[in-house]
Amino acid sequence: MPLKNESAEEPSINLTPMVDVVMLLIIFFLVGTQFNKPERQYEINLPTVSDAQPLTSLPDEIIVNVSKTGEFEVNGQTITVDELESTFRDAQQRYEDQVVIIRGDGEGAYQNVMTVLNLCHRTRIVNVQLANRLESQESG
């Protein structure tokens, strides 16, 4: 009895389910995405300015010069320890992160610099910097 010899079918991939899944994903993401921003849904004419500046500016740092003799100078004026503490307290109340830069004379007593550091600690000023300069390297 002769057997039927059918020709073998070429293997094929049915892409219809994959296209359906991709289309469903596209629809899902389109529905889930907002197309308009809520703050832009109203037609508002915004005012114009010629030069925009911030409403408040950061305060300048307080630079304390400590001389060799132990005098304290702020903004070109020699002041006492009590006046310096008052200046620090007022500045800290106006701006919590007030910067204080201490410039102590290299040949002066270290106690004077420590006095200014102690005033900063008492007035709760935490952003303190000690000014210095790089030593020049001489050859020879």
- Considering Cα of 88, then 93, then 96, then 97, what sign does the dihedral take? negative
Give the residue from 125, 63, 130 showing the smallest Cα distance to 72.
63
Query: 72 or 35, which is more confident?
Result: 72
Contact 49, 39 (CB under 8 A): no
pLDDT digits (tens, 9 = 90+) for 21-30: 999 999 988 8
**Which segment of 11-15, 32-36, 42-46, 115-119 scores lowest on mean pLDDT?**
42-46
**Whole-number mean pLDDT of the chain?**
82
Angle at 44 between CA 43 and CA 46, to 5 degrees: 150
Burial class of 70 by CB neighbour count within 10 A (0 to 12, 13 to 18, 19+)? middle
* CATH class of domain segment(s) 62-130: alpha beta
CA–CA gap between residue 119 and residue 98 (Å, rounded): 13
What is the C-alpha separation between 67 and 106, in angstroms, rounded? 9
Calpha distance 111→122 (Å, rounded): 16
29-52 pLDDT per residue, tens: 888 776 655 555 666 666 666 776
